[in-house]
């Protein structure tokens, strides 16, 4: 508890408060704009880590992450186009509410629900992360190796609709992670001395997220403008409160564990929350016509999962969402190694970050309720201006890593890869996590085999590792077995599939 | 024999539409309403999207004129209007205009100015009524 109070002392210094404000505002505005997400924004801002203190940068990035989760809901509700993948579900009921003249209530339940869920999630994070870290610190290299493998398989196989596409993306990411001479002999360097140090994660992240997206948008520049629902200041009546608070809490209960698991992600809990609310609602007839529960639950779920994601990130060094992956990259560029040691080695930083999550959450509520009409205006920005700016900052960021023109070529090459991935619907997340975790996976494997003097059975010598392998086997095999047996799908799974078809045309 | 109205979802556009309808009745011809957009932002408030377009069509039906609404997406909005003028063989173009400050003239190109200068047919340029009427 004292640690947390010290953390607040760090988070509430004027300069860190300023970073939190910038992060929250920036995060919300990029969350509002479809196609530009917190992951891209943090990637574009990675070069600021050269000048800003680690506390300041991480506090800003955490603000962007939370803000992005919130901002997506505004676009979903007003425009029926989700700003973020995690607010796909919000669009179903939220836009119906807006069309029925209840946009203010939809925005209010999303904002207050996000605040409630974010705060509960952050409390759970503060309570859990240090104990998880204490437990993990005793694990050996074989367990680490197994847990990382589990995270890679889970992120690839559980999220997204096509496992094949996921594994293609993961393979690309792991290959990019191999480039360099970290093992002594050059791999995939093509005899180029500039590739000897490997490809900087900043360049890869900026290329895949920013350049890839900018090229993709440039290929689809002109589209029919959408109808936006005009909105005033969000507010809720008594009936809305009484219908919202239970979905908020249930959404939090779904979101946090899903975020905290290595298989993380914010989409699945929003789906589950929506289905639960539809089943439990006293007004089932309103679902599909603008039920406030259908906005309150999923919005709480996606913010709670954002808090949950911080558990594996801080305690294990395992990113489970794209934004967490880029935040991890920023920590590495400070020479910080997230994981169990972080709580002991950098208490000021970690507790400052945790405290700033509370601050960011409160700022979001305070800023966003009055600012909703301003966020709606952002959607009028012409895309050419927006993406010209993104391309500029992307190139600047990539160049400033090493100040060599070669990085700009790499940036362009991976930008084209990012465009191709969007064209062929390959998920980006497995690639970016592969790039980050690949080298660490190899390092842990090397450690384990070195200690055992080359005996492969050491990989199964720790109980945690065995459990992880069993879970991996389950993740891979259960869907196969279910498909072979055919038929007997349970109603929940069917409802999930239906919902997924509905939102992914 | 057609009257073309360059429509936008604002006071100027509504003024142009009202005068265009009057012109079409006077000349006893049909009406083509052009509502063009550059289509490069998610929201264009001068573009009648979704229910606004339905509303526009209903309004034209209510006024009892023989009208079609066209909504081209073109980087050159003035060019898109002029293309329709040429295509339907219009004999008049109705547009709404506004005051622009000196700074406004510098930073924003004017669709109205290009239509006035480049239109091959006579242009009727109208202004919205006083502020009392502009609140819609």
The DSSP code sequence of B14-27 is HHHHHHHHHHHHHH
Nearest residue in chain B measured CA to CA from A382: B41
pLDDT bin (cut points 50, 70, 90) of residue B133 is: very low
Q: What was the ipTM of the complex prediction?
A: 0.73
User: Which of A191-200, A323-332, A370-379, A409-418: highest mean pLDDT?
Assistant: A409-418
pLDDT bin (cut points 50, 70, 90) of residue B135 is: very low
CA distance A77 to chain B (A): 14
pLDDT bin (cut points 50, 70, 90) of residue A462 is: confident
Q: Does the distance separating the beta carbons of B47 and A381 come in below 8 Å? A: no
More confident of the two residues A500 and A224: A224
pLDDT tens figures, A110-128: 999 999 999 999 999 998 8
Q: Does the distance separating the beta carbons of B50 and A379 come in below 8 Å? A: no
Q: Quick one: pLDDT at residue A490?
A: 63
Nearest residue in chain B measured CA to CA from A33: B42
CA distance A203 to A276: 41
Enumerate residues 6+ apart whose C-beta is below 8 A from B63.
B21
Question: What single-letter DSSP state applies at residue B118?
Answer: H
| B124 φ/ψ angles, rounded to the nearest 5 degrees | -100, 115
pLDDT exceeds cutoff 70 at A148: yes
Across chain A, what does the average pLDDT equal?
Answer: 85
Number of Cβ pairs < 8 A linking chain A and chain B: 56
Contact A171, A429 (CB under 8 A): no
Shortest CA distance to A65 belongs to which of A327, A430, A437? A327
Q: Quick one: pLDDT at residue B104?
A: 66
Q: Quick one: pLDDT at residue B134?
A: 39
Identify all chain A residues contacting B55, using CB atoms and an 8 Å cutoff. Answer: none
Residue A338: helix, strand or coil by DSSP? coil
Nearest to A226 among B38, B40, B43 (CB): B43
Read off the pLDDT of each residue in A276-282 and give the average, rounded to a whole number: 86
The DSSP code sequence of A257-322 is HHHHSTT--SHHHHHHHHHHHHHH-S-GGGTTS--THHHHHHHHHHHHHHHHHHHHHHHH----SH
A14 at interface of B, judged by CB pairs closer than 8 A: no
pLDDT tens figures, A358-407: 999 999 888 878 888 888 888 888 888 889 989 998 998 888 888 888 99
Identify all chain B residues contacting A382, using CB atoms and an 8 Å cutoff. Answer: 38, 40-41
Contact A325, A319 (CB under 8 A): yes
End-to-end CA separation in angstroms for chain A: 48
Domain locations in chain A as residue ranges? 2-137+144-503
pLDDT tens figures, A329-347: 888 888 888 888 888 888 8
Identify all chain B residues contacting A220, using CB atoms and an 8 Å cutoff. Answer: none
**What is the percent of chain A where pLDDT is above 90?**
17
Nearest residue in chain B measured CA to CA from A227: B49
Q: Quick one: pLDDT at residue B107?
A: 61
pLDDT exceeds cutoff 70 at B131: no
CA distance A9 to chain B (A): 42
Q: Does the distance separating the beta carbons of B73 and A223 come in below 8 Å? A: yes
A33 at interface of B, judged by CB pairs closer than 8 A: yes
Q: Does the distance separating the beta carbons of A81 and B42 come in below 8 Å? A: yes
Quote the Cα angle for B53-B57-B58, to 5°: 115
Nearest residue in chain A measured CA to CA from B38: A222
Read off the pLDDT of each residue in A240-252 and give the average, rounded to a whole number: 89
A224 at interface of B, judged by CB pairs closer than 8 A: yes
A384 at interface of B, judged by CB pairs closer than 8 A: yes
Lookup: tokens for A219: 């290929």
Q: Quick one: pLDDT at residue B132?
A: 41
CA distance A99 to chain B (A): 10
Nearest to A225 among B42, B51, B75 (CB): B42
Nearest residue in chain A measured CA to CA from B9: A227
Among the ranges given (A134-148, A259-273, B17-31), the one the predictor scored with the smallest mean pLDDT: A259-273
Nearest to B47 among A34, A225, A381 (CB): A225
pLDDT bin (cut points 50, 70, 90) of residue A130 is: confident
Q: Quick one: pLDDT at residue A264?
A: 58
CA distance A282 to B128: 50
Q: Quick one: pLDDT at residue A482?
A: 75
More confident of the two residues B116 and A48: B116
Nearest to A224 among B45, B73, B75 (CB): B73
Q: Does the distance separating the beta carbons of A228 and B43 come in below 8 Å? A: yes
The sign of the CA dihedral A133, A139, A140, A141 is: negative
Give this prediction's pTM: 0.83
Q: Tell the CATH superfamily of the B2-130 domain.
A: HUPs (3.40.50.620)
Nearest residue in chain A measured CA to CA from B46: A225
pLDDT bin (cut points 50, 70, 90) of residue A231 is: confident
Q: Quick one: pLDDT at residue A19?
A: 92
CA distance A94 to A88: 10
Q: Quick one: pLDDT at residue B106?
A: 64
Lookup: tokens for A296: 């309150």
Domain locations in chain B as residue ranges? 2-130
Read off the pLDDT of each residue in A290-300 and give the average, rounded to a whole number: 89
A218 at interface of B, judged by CB pairs closer than 8 A: no
Nearest residue in chain A measured CA to CA from B53: A227
Contact A166, A430 (CB under 8 A): yes
Residue B4: helix, strand or coil by DSSP? strand
Among B42, B47, B109, most A C-beta atoms within 10 A, so best to mutate, is B42
């Amino acid at each position: 508890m004292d640690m947390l109070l010290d953390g607040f002392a760090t988070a509430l210094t004027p300069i860190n408060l300023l970073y939190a404000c910038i992060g929250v505002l920036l995060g919300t505005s990029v969350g509002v704009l479809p196609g530009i997400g917190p992951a891209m924004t943090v990637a574009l801002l990675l070069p600021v880590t050269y000048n800003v203190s680690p506390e300041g940068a991480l506090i800003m990035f955490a603000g962007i992450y939370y803000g992005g989760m919130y901002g997506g809901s505004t676009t979903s509700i007003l425009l029926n186009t989700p700003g973020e993948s995690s607010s796909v579900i919000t669009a179903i009921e939220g836009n119906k509410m807006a069309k029925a003249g209840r946009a203010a209530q939809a925005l209010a339940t999303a904002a207050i629900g996000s605040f409630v869920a974010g705060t509960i999630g952050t409390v759970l994070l503060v309570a859990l992360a240090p104990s998880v870290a204490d437990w993990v610190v005793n694990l050996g290299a074989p367990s680490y190796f197994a847990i990382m493998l589990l995270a890679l398989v889970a992120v690839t196989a559980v999220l997204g609709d096509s496992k094949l596409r996921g594994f293609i993306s993961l393979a690309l990411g792991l290959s990019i992670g191999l480039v360099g001479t970290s093992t002594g002999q050059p791999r995939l360097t093509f005899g180029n001395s500039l590739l000897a140090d490997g490809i900087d994660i900043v360049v890869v992240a900026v290329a895949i997220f920013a350049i890839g997206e900018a090229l993709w948008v440039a290929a689809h520049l002109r589209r029919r403008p959408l109808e936006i629902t005009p909105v005033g200041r969000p507010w809720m009546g008594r009936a809305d409160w009484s219908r919202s608070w239970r979905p908020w809490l249930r959404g939090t209960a779904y979101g946090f564990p899903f975020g905290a698991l290595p298989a993380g992600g914010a989409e699945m809990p929003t789906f589950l929350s929506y289905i639960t609310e539809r089943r439990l609602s006293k007004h089932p007839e309103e679902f599909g016509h603008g039920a406030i529960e259908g906005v309150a639950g999923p919005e709480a779920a996606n913010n709670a999962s954002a808090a949950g994601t911080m558990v594996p990130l801080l305690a294990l060094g395992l990113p489970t969402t794209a934004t967490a992956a880029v935040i991890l990259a920023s920590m590495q560029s400070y020479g910080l190694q997230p994981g169990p040691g972080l709580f002991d080695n950098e208490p000021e930083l970690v507790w400052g970050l945790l405290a700033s999550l509370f601050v960011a959450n409160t700022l979001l509520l305070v800023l966003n309720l009055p600012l909703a009409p301003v966020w709606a205006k952002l959607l009028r920005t012409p895309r050419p201006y927006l993406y010209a700016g993104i391309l500029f900052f992307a190139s600047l960021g990539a160049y400033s890593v090493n100040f060599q023109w070669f990085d700009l070529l790499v940036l362009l090459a991976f930008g084209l890869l990012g465009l191709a991935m969007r064209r062929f619907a390959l998920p980006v997340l497995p690639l970016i996590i592969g790039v980050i975790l690949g080298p660490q996976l190899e390092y842990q494997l090397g450690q384990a085999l070195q200690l055992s003097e080359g005996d492969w059975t050491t990989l199964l010598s720790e109980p945690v590792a065995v459990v992880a392998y069993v879970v991996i086997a389950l993740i891979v095999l259960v869907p196969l077995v279910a498909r072979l047996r055919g038929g007997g799908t349970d109603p929940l799974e069917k409802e999930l599939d239906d919902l997924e078809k509905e939102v992914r045309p | 024999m057609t009257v073309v109205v360059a429509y936008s979802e604002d006071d100027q556009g509504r003024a142009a539409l009202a005068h265009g309808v009057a012109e079409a009745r006077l000349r006893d011809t049909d009406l083509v309403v052009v509502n063009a957009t550059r289509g490069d932002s998610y929201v264009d408030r001068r573009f009648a999207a979704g229910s606004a377009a339905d509303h526009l069509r209903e309004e034209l039906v209510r006024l009892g004129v023989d009208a079609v609404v066209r909504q081209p997406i073109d980087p050159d909005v003035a060019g898109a209007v002029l293309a329709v003028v040429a295509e339907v063989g219009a004999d008049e173009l109705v547009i709404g205009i506004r005051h622009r400050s000196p700074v406004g003239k510098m930073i924003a190109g004017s669709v109205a100015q290009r239509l006035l200068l480049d239109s091959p047919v006579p242009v009727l340029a109208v202004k919205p009524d006083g502020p009392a009427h502009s609140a819609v």
